[in-house]
């Protein structure tokens, strides 16, 4: 309601602005905007189905017809640009007649099945029919019937209800970047669908459920389970990636029924990734651990909290007495809350151990001391859209942080050149201006080439570059990437999850930092989930909360490689969450005492935890606890529990609080979670991405001649919650784990697609199917982690493959 009649007279005339009159009220409007945008901004309601403020304009539903002075007929408000002096009437007899007429046409073929339609109660068509429809239909002929389509495990279709607004089609084209749905046929025979039977595979597909104005596309997992008006909505934050998408968790009788996006222009706009939207299905699964359990003398038994805590305290005391407190280590899932992570490290440190870490999928920690206080995007999420050049290093951003991928596509549409140095030729659903697809070892060389090309442009850097770098002659693509980064501003270099788990991650980080400095680009580091929060909470061995230096303990990798006597696991399933699942299992098996805080019973997972754990403490997932997640912009977002904890489940911060007290440690007598949060004083910290010191090795040793494993964790295998979200597991993003390789590589092994190969690494071997994958460079084999089939394989190093017999 910002525009008021007097504004046009008091404000100086602006060449970019015009004044229009809507229902007699003068409004200022930007030249080139559409009538509906002006009325929306002024709070004047115009009915619509096909218009959506985030989608390109189609003007095909005609519901927004309004009267415009001097126009011979009603005009669609969504596709009529404003003009100075234009007089618009949204509620005149002509406009209202037109809107009622359109409504009658739209309802001709729409079934009257609201009582059995999931959209009922939150349906724009239903709502507008009330305002603009007739109470009796004049249409007595046959209604059209359209066959339903099976478009995958996430979206239910009821295509007879479709009114052909094409919002879902435009969403695919313009936002998801992949057109999967289309309008086929003509006139009355037009159908929205995939034409041939196939699933819609976009990682953002669930958004079409929200934008569909009728019940044609609805949520398959939610279908027929509740009515919109029975649900209570609770604001929350997504724990699955470092975006921190805003959610509405909707519950009925203390059960989460579905998750919807909550508008936040600065973060997720009005969208949500499928992972954030559908992961909730795991929270109601029968896999949930509902009461504490202890294993005493080889037998598991359910016990009350008091017994479990006593048992835990006794176990920890025993280990400390016999082996010393530095034989205790804590591993935390990066999806834990800031408060949980803070209390976990406080507990460990108060016991005298600094062995605490959340970086479960990393192996190179050489630059720990040089790292900034927390991994930071280097700019705001919104600013990402205005970048003119972006270099992704080791990042499948589309699947790792789906909504950042969306921002990059926006940037691309505005002219940004997107480039990548990746071990796999990932489809980012956006055109790549230049790319270097190389083995993990060659990625280092590629990035070094870019740095050397930039250095050759004469820009000074604080470092003396080692010879191998300054003497490297850049290839054509390295030159091209350097050229784009140096000339198209603002520029950004983004390090993704694959860079973090790279065998020489520190070198990669140093080079990326150097490239960013030389090119004058922002450096951004994308971490897993609440990685930023974990750093701020002090859940790393060498820093306490808020970046304060600490006596360094052991990092996650070293805790697994050189086993300890006791482990405290916060939301971690070691085999699936650690870089080296097989070694993680061995470490746990060798330990004297293992405490597992987990929302799920390990009996339901492909882990051996029922054999090696000694205590299971039911941990509240994000919907059942208060907490805070810090996103990649450094934005703190606190939330409260949406539903009460299931069974005997307790929020992590309360479990850790009482553990601290029972162990006799001072400073654990919090009465509210706010007191915990208040102890983490990060006000003095300035976010930064730059390294204190760049670890550029004096000599580069990369082994480029042996077959290398490329390690990745597919997006629906990253944490214990999504791994149990049944619907997500059935999507095309979760293919059966295989040894993926190029046709050339397969030919050199004399195997075909679907053959079996024995995969051997330094530690571990498995037999997998071969999948020919054109995205994988030669001399490499892509093997996903996070699956029971590949647990026993080391992540890095030389691999040997040989043909195996068919099972």
Give the three-class secondary structure for 241. Answer: strand
Q: Report yes or no: 769 and 778 within 8 Å, Cβ to Cβ.
A: no
152 vs 329, beta carbon nearer another protein: 152
Distance in Å, CB of 198 to another protein, minimum: 9
DSSP letter for each residue of 242-269: TT--EEEEEEETTEEEEEEE--BTTTTB
Label residue 188 exposed, middle or buried (CB < 10 Å: 0-12, 13-18, 19+).
exposed
Specify the residue, 151 or 514, whose C-beta has the smaller distance to another protein. 151
CA distance 368 to 543: 9
Q: Which two tokens stand for residue 567?
A: 């482990």
Name every residue whose Cβ is closer than 8 Å to that of residue 507 and which is 6 or more positions away in sequence: 364, 444, 695, 696, 697, 700
Considering the complex, state which of residue 130 and residue 196 has its C-beta at the smaller distance from another protein.
196
CB of 192 to another protein, least distance (A): 10
Tokens representing 692?
């204190």
In whole angstroms, the minimum distance from the beta carbon of 783 to another protein comes to 24
In the complex with another protein, the residue whose CB is nearer, 194 or 326, is: 194
Nearer to another protein, 234 or 409 (CB): 409
Residue number, 181 or 492, with CB nearest to another protein = 181
Q: CA-CA distance, 642 to 653, in Å (whole number)?
A: 16
Taking the C-alpha atoms of residue 760 and residue 738, their distance in angstroms, rounded to an integer, is 14
Residue 87 DSSP label? E
Sheet holding 615-618, edge to edge: 299-302, 293-296, 615-618, 593-598, 566-570, 328-332, 356-357
Measured from the CB atom, the residue of 184 and 487 that comes closer to another protein is 184
Backbone angles phi, psi at 57, to 5 degrees: -80, 135
- Residue closer to another protein by CB (options 168, 761) is 168
Work out how close the CB of 740 gets to another protein at its nearest, in angstroms, rounded to a whole number.
17
Whether 102 and 74 have beta carbons less than 8 Å apart is answered as: no
Residue closer to another protein by CB (options 588, 771) is: 771
Residues 282 and 278: their CA atoms lie apart, in Å, by: 8
The closest alpha carbon to 789, from 752, 759, 745, 755, belongs to: 759
Per the CB < 8 A criterion, the answer to whether 357 and 539 are in contact is yes
Query: Minimum distance between the CB of residue 209 and another protein, rounded to whole angstroms?
Result: 19
**Minimum distance from CB of 709 to another protein (Å)?**
26
Closer Cβ to another protein, 133 or 182, answer by number = 182
- Least Å distance between CB 70 and another protein? 34
**How far apart are the C-alpha atoms of 669 and 675, rounded to whole Å?**
10
Tell me the closest approach of the beta carbon of residue 738 to another protein, in angstroms.
19
Q: What is the DSSP letter of 171?
A: I
- Supply the minimum distance, in Å, between the C-beta of residue 175 and another protein: 14
Residue 596 region, left (φ>0) first, then alpha (ψ -120 to 50), else beta? Answer: beta
* CA 492 – CA 515 distance, rounded (Å): 10
Residues 6+ apart with CB under 8 A from 135: none
When the beta carbons of 139 and 195 are compared against another protein, the nearer one is 195
Rounded (10°) angle between helices 505-519 and 476-487 = 50
Q: Of 120 and 182, which has the nearer Cβ to another protein? A: 182
In angstroms, give the least distance from the CB of 775 to another protein. Answer: 14
Choice between 202 and 607, CB closer to another protein: 202
Q: Give 218's strand partners.
A: 156
Six token digits for residue 403: 């909504």
**Which residue number, 44 or 176, has a Cβ lying nearer to another protein?**
176
User: Counting beta carbons within 10 angstroms of the beta carbon of residue 471, is it exposed (0 to 12), middle (13 to 18) or buried (19 or more)?
Assistant: exposed
Rounded to the nearest whole angstrom, what is the least distance from the CB of residue 743 to another protein in the complex? 9
Nearest approach in angstroms of CB 56 to another protein is 15
Annotate 286-317 with DSSP letters as a single string.
Answer: TTB--S-EEEETTEEEE--HHHHHHHHHHHHH
Q: Look at the alpha carbons of 589, 590, 592, 593 in this order and tell me if their dihedral is positive or negative.
A: negative
Yes or no: say if 57 and 79 are a contact pair by the CB < 8 Å rule. yes
Map tokens 């360094």 to a residue.
Answer: 552
DSSP strands (E only) in 512-634: 522-525, 566-570, 593-598, 615-618, 627-630
Which residues sit at the interface with another protein, rule CB under 8 A?
173, 178-186, 194-196
The CB-of-716 to another protein minimum distance in angstroms stands at 24
Question: Which residue number, 116 or 179, has a Cβ lying nearer to another protein?
Answer: 179
Q: For the stretch 758-786, what's the b/e string if a residue is b when 16 or more beta carbons lie within 10 angstroms of its beta carbon?
A: ebebeebebebbbbbbeebbebbbbbbbb
For residues 466 and 697, the answer to whether their CB atoms sit within 8 Å is: yes
In the complex, minimum distance from the CB of residue 32 to another protein, in angstroms, rounded to a whole number: 23
CA distance 365 to 388: 32
Shortest separation between residue 211's beta carbon and another protein, angstroms: 18
Of 178 and 757, nearer to another protein (C-beta) is 178
Nearer to another protein, 405 or 446 (CB): 405
Nearest approach in angstroms of CB 169 to another protein is: 8
Min dist. Cβ of residue 119 to another protein (A): 24
Nearer to another protein, 45 or 195 (CB): 195
Query: What is the smallest separation between the CB atom of 166 and another protein, expressed in angstroms?
Result: 11
Nearest CA to 755 among 767, 765, 737?
A: 767
């Amino acid at each position: 309601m910002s525009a008021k009649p007097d504004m046009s007279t008091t404000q100086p005339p602006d060449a970019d602005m015009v004044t229009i009159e809507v229902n007699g009220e003068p409004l200022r409007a930007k030249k080139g905007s559409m009538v509906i945008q002006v009325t929306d901004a002024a709070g004047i309601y115009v009915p619509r189905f096909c218009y959506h403020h985030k989608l390109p304009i189609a003007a095909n539903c005609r519901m927004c017809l309004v009267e415009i002075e001097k126009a011979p007929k009603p005009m669609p408000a969504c596709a009529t640009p404003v003009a100075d002096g234009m007089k618009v009437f949204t509620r005149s007899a002509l406009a209202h007649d037109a809107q009622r007429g359109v409504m009658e046409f739209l309802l001709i073929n729409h079934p009257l099945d609201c009582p059995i339609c999931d959209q009922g109660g939150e349906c724009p068509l239903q709502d507008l029919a009330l305002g603009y429809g007739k109470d009796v239909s004049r249409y007595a002929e046959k209604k059209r019937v359209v066959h339903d389509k099976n478009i995958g495990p996430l979206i239910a279709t009821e295509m007879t209800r479709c009114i052909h607004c094409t919002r879902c089609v435009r969403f695919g084209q313009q936002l998801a970047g992949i057109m999967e749905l289309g309008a086929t046929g003509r006139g009355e025979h037009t159908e929205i669908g995939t034409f041939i039977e196939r699933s819609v595979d976009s990682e953002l597909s669930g958004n079409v459920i929200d934008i569909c104005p009728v019940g044609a596309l609805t949520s398959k997992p939610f279908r027929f389970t509740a009515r919109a008006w029975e649900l209570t909505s609770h604001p929350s934050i997504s724990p699955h990636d470092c975006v921190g998408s805003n959610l509405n968790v909707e519950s009925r009788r203390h059960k989460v029924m579905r998750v919807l996006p909550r508008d936040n222009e600065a973060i997720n706009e009005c969208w949500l990734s499928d992972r954030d939207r559908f992961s909730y299905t795991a929270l109601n699964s029968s896999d949930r651990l509902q009461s504490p359990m202890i294993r005493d003398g080889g037998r598991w038994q359910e016990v009350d909290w008091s017994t479990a805590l006593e048992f835990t305290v006794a176990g920890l005391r025993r280990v400390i007495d016999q082996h010393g407190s530095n034989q205790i280590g804590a591993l935390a899932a990066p999806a834990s809350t800031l408060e949980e992570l803070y209390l976990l490290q406080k507990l460990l440190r108060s016991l005298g151990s600094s062995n605490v870490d959340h970086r479960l999928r990393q192996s190179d920690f050489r630059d720990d001391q040089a790292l900034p206080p927390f991994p930071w995007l280097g700019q705001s999420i919104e600013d990402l859209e205005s970048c003119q050049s972006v270099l992704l290093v080791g990042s499948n951003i589309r699947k790792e942080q789906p909504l950042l991928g969306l921002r990059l596509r926006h940037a691309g549409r505005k002219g940004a050149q997107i480039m990548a140095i990746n071990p796999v030729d990932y489809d980012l659903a956006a055109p790549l201006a230049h790319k270097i697809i190389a083995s993990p070892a060659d990625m280092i060389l590629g990035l070094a080439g870019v740095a050397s090309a930039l250095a050759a442009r004469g820009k000074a850097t604080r470092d003396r570059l080692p010879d191998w770098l300054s003497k490297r002659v850049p290839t054509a693509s390295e030159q091209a990437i350097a050229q784009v980064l140096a000339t198209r501003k603002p520029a950004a270099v983004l390090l993704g999850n694959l860079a973090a788990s790279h065998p020489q991650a520190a070198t990669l980080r140093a080079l990326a930092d150097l490239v960013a400095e030389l090119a004058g680009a922002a450096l951004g580091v994308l971490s897993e989930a609440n990685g930023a929060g974990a750093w701020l909470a002090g859940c790393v061995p060498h820093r306490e909360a808020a970046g304060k230096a600490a006596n360094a303990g052991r990092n996650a990798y070293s805790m697994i490689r050189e086993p300890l006597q006791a482990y405290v696991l916060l939301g971690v399933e070691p085999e699936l969450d650690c870089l080296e699942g097989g070694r993680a299992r061995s470490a746990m098996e060798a330990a004297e005492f293992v405490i597992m805080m987990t929302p799920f019973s390990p009996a339901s997972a492909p882990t051996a935890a029922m054999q090696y754990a000694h205590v299971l403490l039911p941990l509240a997932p994000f919907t059942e606890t208060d907490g805070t997640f810090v996103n990649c912009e450094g934005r703190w977002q606190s939330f409260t529990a949406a539903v009460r904890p299931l069974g005997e489940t307790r929020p992590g911060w309360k479990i850790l609080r009482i553990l601290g007290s029972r162990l006799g440690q001072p400073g654990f007598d919090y009465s509210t979670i706010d007191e915990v949060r208040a102890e983490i004083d990060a006000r003095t910290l300035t976010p930064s991405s730059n390294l204190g010191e760049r670890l550029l090795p004096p000599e580069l040793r990369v082994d480029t001649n042996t077959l290398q494993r490329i390690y990745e964790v597919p997006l629906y295998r990253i944490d214990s919650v999504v791994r149990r979200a049944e619907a997500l597991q059935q999507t095309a993003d979760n293919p059966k784990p295989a040894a993926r390789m190029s046709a050339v590589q397969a030919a050199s092994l004399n195997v075909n697609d679907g053959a079996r190969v024995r995969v051997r690494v330094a530690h571990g071997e498995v037999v997998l199917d071969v999948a020919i994958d054109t995205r994988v460079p030669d001399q490499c084999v892509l093997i996903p982690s996070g699956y029971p089939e590949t647990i026993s394989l080391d992540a890095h190093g030389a691999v040997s493959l040989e043909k195996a017999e068919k099972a």
